[in-house]
Amino acid sequence: EVQLVESGGGLVMPGGSLRLSCAVSGLTFSDAWLNWVRQAPGKGLEWVGRIKSKGSGGTTDYPASVKGRFTISRDDSKDTLYLQMNSLKIEDTAVYYCTWQGTQLNFFHSWGQGALVTVSS
Amino acid sequence: EIVLTQSPGSLSLSPGERATLSCRASQSISRSYLAWYQQRPGQAPRLLIYGASTRVTGVPDRISGGGSGTDFSLTISSLEPEDFAVYYCQQYDSSPCTFGQGTKVEIK
């Protein structure tokens, strides 16, 4: 069974930075294409970005809303995914989910339980 | 980017009734690259269907998906208590992938 466990959420001031981690088990991490998806309180889902496996180039993709502020990285030696968030805005407040896409198609087979990030002064 | 509009916003039904949820895309989704997720209160979303109509292993066959082009649907033939939740559609035909705003299925 694939398991994804996020950590690192918390309260941060506008303009600040935060790094989320996601520990992954139950699959061959180095082959996995992984994503972050967020959900603002009481709202819908928004894709935040993806990192491909190193074998597929290890490249990242982001939507315009976070491009240049958020960076996704991976440590295949630790089976861990990261989301570095800089220049945080109040509208970045959300639960952030780590997700696994089981194929090269960008839909999400497995989800973590989420990490709450609150941006507030 | 492709905008997905789900309707209705909420649906109030009784257990045993049939639910039909709609997801309309702002432009045609080729290859039926559309997925459906279920989110119960306090839980992460769960993948139900991909490729518009392929059920994930373990999803009961009372839940089915269909459609093509710009119009897609999710049908629950006979609602069970565990089906009362919010459902989201998602297109992965073009980047960025996008989600609909959700349909809440409530107990009447």
User: For the segment B43-96, what is each residue's pLDDT rounded down to a tens digit?
Assistant: 999 999 999 999 999 999 999 999 999 999 999 999 999 999 999 999 999 999
CA distance A59 to A45: 23
User: What is the per-residue pLDDT for B24?
Assistant: 98
Nearest-CA distance B70 → chain A (Å) = 18
pLDDT over 90 (residue A79): yes
Residue at token pair 């999803």? B59
Are B105 and B83 in contact by the 8 Å Cβ rule? The answer is yes
- List CB contacts (< 8 A) between A46 and chain B: 99
Kindly identify which residue of chain B lies nearest to residue A36, measuring between CA atoms: B97
Q: Is residue A35 within 8 Å of residue A99, measured between CB atoms?
A: yes
**Quick one: pLDDT at residue B30?**
84
Task: Output the pLDDT for position A62.
Answer: 97
pLDDT digits (tens, 9 = 90+) for A21-39: 999 999 999 999 999 999 9
Asked whether the beta carbons of B4 and B37 are under 8 A apart, the reply is: no
Are A45 and B90 within 8 A, CB to CB? yes
Distance CA A85, CA B86 (A): 28
Question: What is the interface size between A and B, counted as CB pairs within 8 Å?
Answer: 50
Q: Shortest CB distance from B47 goes to which of A97, A106, A107?
A: A107
Query: What are the φ and ψ backbone dihedral angles of A15, each rounded to 5 degrees?
Result: 90, -10
Taking phi over 0 as left and psi of -120 to 50 as alpha, with beta for the rest, A79 belongs to left
